[in-house]
Amino acid sequence: MARLSGNPLSRLLRPASGPGEMGRLVAVAAFVGVLAGLASSLFRSALRALTAFAADGLAGGFDPSAATLPGWALFLVPGVGGLLTGLLIQKAIPGSVGRAADGTDAAIDAFHNHGGLVRPRVPFLKGVTSIVTIGTGGSAGVEGPMSQVGSGIGALVGRFLGVTERQRRILGIAGMAAGLGAIFKAPLGGALTSVEVLYKSDFESDAVMPAIVASVAGYATFCAVDGYAPILGLLPRFAFHGPLEILLYAAMGAMMAVASRLFIRLFRRTRELSLAWNLPFWAKSALAGCAVGLVALAVPQIAGSWELLAGMMRGGTGSGWRAAAFLLALAAAKMAATALTVGVTQSGGLFGPSLFVGGVLGGAFGTAVHALWPAAVPQPGAYVFVGMGAFFAGVAHAPIAVAVMVCELAGDYGLLAPLMVASVVHVVLARRESIYLHQVPNKFASPAHRHELQRDILRESTVRSLLPGTSAPVCFPPEATLAEIRRAISGTSEEIFPVVDGSGAFAGVLDVHELRKAIFDDSLADWVIAQDMLRPSAGLSPDMDLHVALQRFLAENASQMAVLEGGKVVGTLHQRDLIAVYEEKSRSYT
């Protein structure tokens, strides 16, 4: 879509910098939210139709007695879905192969590394491939494609209005919030997730208000079609009963840290092996789909999703150690199926499967403790509820957002306190590992904020601190001939050579890139002198801070400059030395 800055609507709505910027940005975010809500509704309708035909119809939920196809062929349903997904991605968006596998991770990548820009067709096509993947039985979540689609809508609206790069990034976050808030019917959780999931230990404060407004707009638009009932339906009223239970929930959070590390490593290793496997992408995607189908035939409950979790919360976790062991096996099967689906086919999201794994693990923990000490765990289903949020909080480093999100999914805030405790314990023990490859530690590590940090970081050092202690620069008098210059610089690796007069006063520099035009012409060797090739330069001062020095490098379009003290040359400095200082100081902040 071309930038239409001359459009009257663009001039009216463009959130130009100034006192009214946030108000206009919020208004545009509301519009983005409505579009994302409509997109979520279309996505949900298409997904339900395909699921009813393929995963629930042809495959019968991977129950041979309920399937249309013969039992031996059920594993082919996800395989065909993987084949179609692979062909569409390979033919239409081959550049996306090997980048962010999950849609939320793609939105994070766009924010940090691409100025909020999104290729218009990528979110749309990834939405289509996710419908095919999930609808045919793949183990993936709906939130990934809706995060990516919402972020893409925000980017497109930003391009239409001709906004700044910073505003485009914020609109991308607002679109992500709207997609999440709509598809999960969780307006506050969607908004908080979009600003928290960008970082491992930070959040995007400038985007909070636009994200909230966009998420509410997306939620209201989606629910006008789909209804306002919570995703998990009617559940028992959960509550915790004192300090002892808090300790049990904390212990469960510690268990989640072990499981999440296994999940993250399994997902990343599967993705790496898939990318290294020398087969066409469509073939790898089809084989991965067939493998998921085989897992589903062995453990059909991996296709249960929200209905299974809601049933467990209503008391369907089973009882005794055998039930706890089965739930652990179910969690492992779901991890494997998700790694194969999202890691190989690169369609769908990780949020939903992570909630499923966490809920099942929580159910296993609650069931085991109930078998050992019934009085301490009167409601094993409560551990399913807490486990959902605690697990994803650790794999995504978003404890606050996920706590709210899970409460909105269930329509119940009764377990918010133990949910926060379990989530924090998991995050603390997770060792900063994240399921999202493009998530960065904090704002100091994000290219989106590099321009804000550059001034302060570079002002902490001066040019003098980077000057070499011993070696002196190679200098030439104005009358030095080309032949003399050629002999003197043959053993150097410098890019500029200062020119100084008889008193040592700086006159300018010889640029090696300019010298190349004449230095090998022997006919000019004794006729051209340094004065003829001189380039004026303001030079740098030893006491100048590195921020000012960098501005001078940029002004002269130079990669190396002379350092002057009292008008005399005392050294030279490369621009790369400044960049190295900036990167070192940035790492110290993270």
Structure-derived torsion over alpha carbons of residues 444, 448, 449, 455, reported in degrees to the nearest 10: 110
CA distances from 190 to 126, 187, 358 (A): 20, 5, 19
Domain co-membership, 430 together with 516 = no
Same domain? For 351 and 460 the reply is no
- Residue 573's beta-bridge partner residues? 561
Q: Measure the CA–CA gap between 180 and 352, rounded to whole angstroms.
A: 11
Long-range contacts from 366-372, C-beta under 8 angstroms, 24+ separation: 366/252, 366/317, 367/317, 367/318, 367/319, 367/320, 367/323, 367/324, 367/327, 368/321, 368/324, 369/248, 370/319, 371/319, 371/320, 371/321, 371/324
Q: Kindly state whether residues 184 and 152 are assigned to the same domain.
A: yes
Distances (CA, A) of 330 to 70, 193, 580: 24, 27, 49
pTM for this prediction: 0.75
Among the candidates 441, 466, 498, a domain finishes at 441
HSE-CB at 192 with a 13 A cutoff on CA atoms is: 17
- Give me Rg for the CA atoms of the chain: 30
Total domain count, the chain = 2
Q: Where are the alpha helices (DSSP H) in 459-573?
A: 482-489, 512-515, 546-556
The reply to whether 384 falls in a domain is yes
Residue 518 lies in a domain: yes
Q: At what angle do helices 208-226 and 187-196 cross, to 10 degrees?
A: 140
Pair 429, 500 in one domain: no
Tokens of 113: 């590394």
* CATH of residue 373: 1.10.3080.10
- Residues 435 and 499 reside in one and the same domain: no
Token pair in block for residue 313: 């919360």
Same domain (yes/no): 308, 380? yes
Give a yes or no: residue 2 inside a domain: no
Residue 406 covered by a domain: yes
Give the Cα separation of 397 and 401 in Å (integer).
9
Together in a domain, 477 and 556? yes
Question: Do residues 95 and 115 share a domain?
Answer: yes
Assess whether 406 and 484 both reside in one domain: no
Which of 385, 414, 441 is the C-terminal boundary of a domain? Answer: 441
What does the buried/exposed string (b/e) look like for 123-153 if buried means 16 or more CB atoms within 10 Å of the residue's CB?
Answer: bbbbbbbbbbbbbbbbbbbbbbbbbbbbbbb
Placement of tokens 């039930």 in the chain: 323
> Are both 405 and 345 inside the same structural domain?
yes
For 285, the domain range is 8-441
Domain check: are 378 and 243 in the same one? yes
| Both structure tokens of 62 | 């991977």
CA–CA–CA angle 471, 473, 477 (5° rounding): 145
Measured distance CA(411)–CA(405) in Å, rounded: 10
Does a structural domain hold residue 44?
yes
In whole angstroms, how far apart are CA 397 and each of 42, 269, 434, 474? 30, 20, 7, 53
Residue 171 domain flag? yes
Question: pLDDT 10s digit of each residue in the chain, 590 long?
Answer: 444 444 554 554 555 555 567 888 999 999 999 999 999 999 999 999 999 999 999 999 898 888 899 988 999 999 999 999 999 999 998 888 877 778 899 999 999 988 888 888 899 999 999 999 999 999 999 988 999 999 999 999 998 998 888 899 999 999 999 999 999 999 999 999 999 999 988 889 889 999 999 999 999 999 999 999 888 888 888 877 778 889 999 999 999 999 999 999 999 999 999 999 899 999 999 999 999 999 999 999 998 778 888 888 887 777 788 999 999 999 999 999 999 999 998 899 999 999 999 999 999 999 999 888 888 888 888 999 999 999 999 999 999 999 999 999 888 888 888 999 999 999 999 877 889 989 988 887 788 876 665 556 778 889 998 887 656 788 999 998 888 888 888 777 788 899 998 888 899 998 887 777 676 667 777 778 888 888 888 899 999 988 889 888 888 888 889 999 888 898 899 888 888 888 777 666 54
- By three-state DSSP, how is residue 350 classified? coil
Helical residues (DSSP H) of 303-415, grouped into ranges: 305-311, 320-340, 351-372, 380-396, 399-410
Buried b (16+ CB within 10 A) or exposed e, 232-269: beebeebebeeeebeebbbebbebbbebbbebbebbbe
In this structure, the number of other CB atoms found within 10 A of the CB of residue 541 comes to: 18
Residue 255 forms part of a structural domain: yes
Last residue of a domain, one of 441, 461, 484: 441
Residue 446 in domain: no
The enclosing domain of 553 has a CATH number of: 3.10.580.10
Same domain, 416 and 472: no
